Amino acid sequence: MGFSLTGTHVIFFIAAVIVAGMVSGVFIAVTMNVTTSLSNRGDRVKEQLDTDFAIINDPNTIPVTGAYYIFYLKNIGGAKLTTTNQTFQVFIDGELIASANYYFGNTSIAAEAVTNLYVNTTLTTGDHTLRVVGPQAIDKDFTFIK
């Protein structure tokens, strides 16, 4: 004896339910991957927006103490900013200053706080450009006169 029409319909129904379950599983997996990716991207954007600083010196008068020029770095982001030679790189006139030749007055600064950046370099008279590159590759340029 063979299957009746009802038996064939039951087999097709079960096969259709299995295929539908597999397709919905794929959709759920893809949706979870997209959600996770968007969440991670949002966290990176938030961290980038919370990380910002400004150089607030008077460009016509840069203080000097000993062999060090003093630049004032203000945290204008929403999060505490770690200020070390590992988190910041300093350039003057396009030349990378060796990490042994600069340091910060504080190892971290709260939002809206200011710290000193001490740079030991030799400058000629005239215009110069300081570029400070911080966390999240945020960089600020500051043109000043010696």
pTM of the shown model: 0.72
CATH 2.60.40 applies to domain 53-145: yes
**Residues sharing a CB contact under 8 Å with residue 99, sequence separation 6 or more, in sequence order:** 85, 86, 89
Q: How many CB atoms lie within 10 A of CB 108?
A: 14
pLDDT in tens, the chain (146 residues): 556 777 788 888 898 999 989 999 998 999 898 888 888 888 777 777 788 999 999 999 999 999 999 999 999 988 899 999 999 999 999 999 999 999 999 999 999 999 999 999 999 999 999 999 999 889 999 999 98
